């Protein structure tokens, strides 16, 4: 099956076949990361621009490493040190950058839909590295890759997304991607952090963590996005921890080992305790390693070949 | 797409005999199996490497480390190809430093696949020597590459193609001379 997508804007619009191709291809790149020389000549001559309008360490380093390991030429840009400060619009900035002959743009922006806007005005391939509270497709793909790597399948697997669903682009992309792969998705958190009508996406809603622990194969524990919450949505961090924090004691009621995931950065002692985050069931650091492989696969698949006239 | 078959060049017994001979030649040239490892190029080269390594184990005893290499990411036509071929997993579960590697492929043609494979192997370490073993050499080299062990030389014209069918993927062992699809 040939890869169809020209951009990776979100998992909502990505065909299931393309998601499977990305996951399969990422396995080959994962192997490259264990070699003594972790470099491939594949993207020689391609230029990738990383546009980060929002703070990021993990995603940005992961993308830069993925690009370097494929031998692409890269330029990184952060909004704080650029002409954005002088009032240039997003479209003008990227049109200027594209005029310097680049092939791909990785973009993170606080406005939902910013990558979609770029896809309309540019010829380059666009990869969404997080757009506001909308989607974060590469994070979801690396989560899904890690689940498949650990459990050997996705169909019928029960994945619980716990915490701040409302403000989480990671949750949205995970829901779209996991549903397309045939997984069962539970969401759990305080009612103020669960968006209305989310059940229309085919997920089951729970407000009590102790009800999901016995059912889940995987728990993806989301970060409390304090910077995106405009009003007080729960009384205190301590109360949140008491009701929704994932602790070792709480996990005792599980009937089988649960894979513990977290997209990072963690608020230790709030949504997850250290003895869970560092436990033998935690794959949080493997998620980070897999992230580089998944991003290499996406860059490779989007850059490659000459698509028939767009 | 059905390709027109011009001739059946080798049958199952022929292929078996050739593999036996190649195994003997490899052991003879290496004077035993010390430091010897095999690496097959996906897809059919990988199956051939497995068969040859089994044969060498029958002759000499012991285990011959055998790995598989996918060269897709090292190809030189990345910018001009229409479609992305799927990438197989490379699996070389041993150190290649100071080893004698026999690189195994099915059909040697332009030499570009072997060039890519050599680049890929260099990313794994520094072998003391790399030898090339192919089941079929059909000529038309575009790069200065020559095989050390050849199953059979089959001179072809540009409008022809040599197709190897193997039990493991195609349910039968056979070598066919077919007309090239672009003709």
Interval B137-164: pLDDT, tens: 999 999 999 999 999 999 999 889 999 9
For residue A310, is it within any domain? Answer: no
Q: Domain for residue A8, yes or no? A: no
Among A6, A27, A38, A58, the one annotated catalytic: A58
Q: What are phi and psi of A164, to 5 degrees?
A: -85, 85
| Total domain count, chain A | 2
**Cα(B160)–Cα(B163) distance, integer angstroms:** 10
Residue A210 lies in a domain: yes
Alpha-carbon gap, residue A251 to B32, rounded angstroms: 57
Q: Are A206 and A212 in contact (CB under 8 A)?
A: yes
Q: Which residue of A has its CA nearest to B70?
A: A28
Continuous H helices in A152-304: 169-180, 209-212, 237-244, 248-251, 274-277, 284-303
pLDDT at B81 over 50: yes
Claim to verify: residue A107 and residue A214 sit in the same structural domain: no
Q: Which of chain B's residues have a Cβ under 8 Å away from the Cβ of A69?
A: none
- According to the model, what pLDDT value does residue A235 have? 87
Contacts of A36 in chain B (CB under 8 A): 123-125
Quick one: pLDDT band at residue B82, thresholds 50, 70, 90?
low
Q: How many CA atoms lie within 13 A of A68 on its CB side?
A: 11
**What domains does chain B contain, in order, with CATH numbers?**
13-156 (3.40.50.2020)
Query: 């910013």: which residue's tokens?
Result: A114
The per-residue pLDDT for A190 is 94
| Same domain membership, residue A24 and residue A130 | yes
**pLDDT number for residue A181:** 97
CB within 8 Å of chain A, chain B residues 127-166:
none
Percent of chain B exceeding pLDDT 90 equals: 79
Quick check: is A76 in a domain?
yes
By the CB < 8 Å criterion, does A305 face chain B?
A: yes
**Token reading at A81:** 């040190």
pLDDT for B18 beyond 80: yes
Are A42 and B74 inside 8 Å of each other by CB?
yes
**What CATH number has the domain bearing residue A296?**
3.40.50.1370
Which of B68, B74, B83, B87 is the best substitution to test chain A (most A C-beta atoms within 10 A)? Answer: B87
Of B173, B153, B137, residue with least CA distance to B10: B173
- Where in chain A does DSSP place strands (E)? 47-52, 73-78, 104-109, 125-131, 158-162, 184-188, 204-206, 218-221, 259-261
pLDDT at A206: 97
User: For the stretch A123-148, what's the b/e string if a residue is b when 16 or more beta carbons lie within 10 angstroms of its beta carbon?
Assistant: ebbbbbbbbbbbbbbbbbbbbbbbbb
**pLDDT at residue A79 in the model:** 76
> Which residues is B104 bridged to in the sheet?
B40, B133
Same domain, A41 and A125: yes
Regarding whether A297 and A214 lie in a shared domain, the answer is no
Q: Of A7, A60, A69, A108, which is the active-site residue?
A: A108
User: What pLDDT sits at residue A307?
Assistant: 47
A58 is catalytic: yes
Distance CA A222, CA A45 (A): 38
Residue A10 CA to residue A130 CA, distance in Å, equals 9
Q: Is residue A228 domain-shared with residue A267, that is, in the same domain?
A: yes
What distance in Å separates residue A185's CA from the closest CA in chain B? 30
Structure confidence at residue B137 (pLDDT): 96
Beta bridge partners of A149: none
Residue of B nearest to A70 (CA): B73
Q: Are A147 and A125 contained in the same domain?
A: no
Q: How far is A162 from chain B (nearest CA, A)?
A: 34
Phi-psi sector, A267: left (phi>0), alpha (psi -120 to 50), beta: beta
A155 catalytic? Reply is no
pLDDT number for residue A37: 85
- The residue of B118, B123, B124, B126 whose CB has the most chain A CBs within 10 angstroms, and thus the best one to mutate to test that interface, is B123
Query: Of B87, B123, B124, which has the smallest distance from its Cβ to A28's Cβ?
Result: B87
- Distance between CA atoms of residues B166 and B169, nearest Å: 6
**Residue A22 sits in the same domain as residue A78:** yes
Contact A41 B119 (CB under 8 A): yes
Mean pLDDT rounded to a whole number for chain B = 91
Which chain A residues touch B79 with a CB distance below 8 Å? 45, 306
Distance from CA of A14 to the nearest CA of B (A): 17
Q: Are strands B5-10 and B174-179 parallel, antiparallel or unpaired?
A: antiparallel
* A141 & A278 share domain: yes
Decide if A138 is catalytic: no
CA distance B52 to chain A (A): 25
Residue A149 lies in a domain: yes
Interface touch B90/A31, C-beta < 8 Å: yes
Q: Do A110 and A34 share a structural domain?
A: yes
The predicted model scores a pTM of 0.86
Give contacts of A24 with chain B, Cβ < 8 Å.
86-87
Which pLDDT belongs to residue B80? 63
Instruction: State residue B142's pLDDT score.
Output: 95
Q: Is A309 a member of any domain?
A: no
For residue A149, give how far its alpha carbon lies from the nearest alpha carbon of chain B (Å). 14
Q: Which of B174, B176, B107 is nearest to B147 (CA)?
A: B107
* Tens place of pLDDT per residue across chain A (310 aa): 578 899 999 999 999 999 999 999 999 999 999 888 888 998 988 999 999 998 888 999 999 999 999 999 999 988 776 777 777 888 898 899 889 899 999 999 999 999 999 999 999 999 999 999 999 999 999 999 999 999 999 999 999 999 999 999 999 999 999 999 999 999 999 999 999 999 999 999 999 999 999 999 999 999 988 777 777 888 889 999 999 999 999 999 998 899 999 998 999 999 999 999 999 999 999 999 999 999 999 999 998 754 443 3
For residue A224, being part of any structural domain is answered with: yes
- Residue of A41, A44, A293 best to disrupt the B interface, most CBs of B under 10 A: A41
Q: Does B68 touch chain A (CB under 8 A)?
A: no
Q: Is A299 helix (H, G, I), strand (E, B) or coil?
A: helix
Q: In what order do the strands lie in the sheet with A259-261?
A: A204-206, A184-188, A158-162, A218-221, A259-261
Q: Which residues pair with A185 in a beta bridge?
A: A159
For B23-47, b/e burial (b = at least 16 CB within 10 A) is beebbeebeebeebbbbbbbebbbb
* Total residues belonging to chain B: 183
CB A5 within 8 A of CB A15: yes
User: Residue A305 is nearest to which of B83, B122, B124, comparing CB atoms?
Assistant: B83
Chain A, chain B: beta-carbon pairs less than 8 Å apart: 58
Q: Which of A258, A22, A251 is closest to A159 using CA atoms? A: A258
Copy the structure tokens of residue A43: 């993207």
Cα B165 to Cα B14: distance, rounded to the nearest angstrom: 13
Q: Which strand ranges, in their side-by-side order, compose the sheet holding B66-69?
A: B66-69, B36-41, B100-108, B129-137, B149-153
- Relative to beta strand B66-69, strand B36-41 is parallel
A104 and A184 fall within a common domain: no
pLDDT band at B183 (very low <50, low <70, confident <90, very high): very low
d(CA A268, CA A240): 13
ipTM over 0.95: no
SS3 content of chain B, % helix, strand, coil (to 5): 30, 30, 40
* Residue A293, domain extent: 16-136+289-303
User: Measured between CB atoms, does B63 come within 8 Å of chain A?
Assistant: no
The answer to the question of residue A106 being in a domain is yes
Q: For testing the chain B interface, which of A25, A44, A45 should be mutated: the one with the most B CBs within 10 Å? A: A25
Q: Which element (helix H / strand E) includes B22?
A: helix B12-30
Measured distance CA(A48)–CA(A103) in Å, rounded: 6
Residues A80, A90: one domain?
yes
Q: Does B82 touch chain A (CB under 8 A)?
A: yes
Domain match, A281 and A141 both: yes
The residues pairing with B161 across neighbouring beta strands, listed in sequence order, are B178
């Amino acid at each position: 099956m040939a890869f169809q997508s020209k951009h990776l804007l979100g998992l909502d619009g990505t065909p299931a076949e393309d998601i499977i191709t990305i996951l399969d291809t990422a396995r080959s790149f994962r192997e490259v990361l264990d070699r003594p020389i972790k470099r491939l000549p594949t993207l020689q001559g391609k230029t990738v621009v990383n546009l980060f309008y929002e703070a990021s360490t993990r995603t940005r380093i992961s993308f830069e490493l993925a690009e370097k390991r494929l031998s692409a030429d890269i330029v990184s840009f952060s909004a704080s040190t650029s002409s954005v400060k002088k009032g240039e619009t997003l479209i003008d900035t990227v049109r200027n950058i594209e005029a310097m002959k680049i092939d791909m743009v990785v973009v993170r922006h606080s406005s939902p839909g910013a990558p979609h806007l770029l896809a309309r005005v540019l010829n380059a391939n666009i990869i969404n590295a997080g757009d506001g509270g909308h989607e974060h497709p590469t994070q979801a793909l690396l989560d899904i890759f890690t689940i498949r790597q650990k459990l050997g399948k996705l169909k019928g697997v029960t994945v619980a997304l716990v915490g701040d669903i409302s403000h989480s682009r990671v949750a949205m992309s995970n829901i779209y991607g996991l549903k397309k792969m045939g997984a069962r998705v539970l969401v759990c958190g305080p009612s103020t952090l669960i968006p209305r009508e989310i059940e229309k996406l085919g997920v089951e809603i729970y407000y009590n963590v102790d009800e999901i622990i016995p059912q889940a194969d995987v728990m993806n524990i989301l970060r409390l996005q304090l910077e995106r919450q405009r009003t007080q949505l729960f009384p205190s961090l301590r109360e949140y921890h008491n009701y929704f924090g994932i602790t070792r004691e709480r996990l005792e009621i599980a009937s089988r080992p649960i894979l513990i995931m977290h997209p990072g950065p963690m608020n230790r002692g709030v949504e997850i305790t250290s003895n869970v985050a560092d436990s033998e069931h935690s794959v949080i650091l493997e998620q980070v390693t897999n992230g580089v492989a998944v991003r290499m696969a996406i860059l490779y698949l989007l850059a490659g070949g000459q698509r028939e006239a767009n | 797409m059905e390709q027109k078959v011009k001739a059946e060049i080798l049958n199952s017994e022929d292929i078996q005999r050739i593999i036996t001979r190649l195994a003997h030649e490899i052991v003879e040239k290496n004077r035993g199996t010390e430091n010897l490892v095999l690496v097959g190029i996906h897809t059919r080269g990988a199956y051939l490497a497995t068969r040859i390594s089994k044969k060498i184990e029958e002759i000499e005893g012991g285990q011959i480390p055998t790995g598989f290499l996918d060269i897709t990411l090292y190809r030189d036509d990345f910018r001009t190809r229409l479609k992305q071929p799927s990438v197989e997993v490379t699996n070389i579960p041993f150190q290649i430093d100071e080893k004698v590697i026999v690189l195994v492929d099915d059909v040697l043609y332009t030499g570009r696949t072997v060039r890519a494979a050599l680049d890929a192997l260099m990313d794994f370490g520094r072998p003391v020597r790399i030898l090339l073993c192919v089941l079929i050499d059909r000529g038309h080299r575009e790069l200065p590459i020559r095989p050390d062990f050849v199953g059979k030389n089959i001179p072809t014209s540009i409008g022809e193609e040599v197709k190897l069918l193997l039990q493991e993927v195609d349910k039968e062992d056979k070598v066919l001379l077919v007309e090239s699809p672009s003709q």
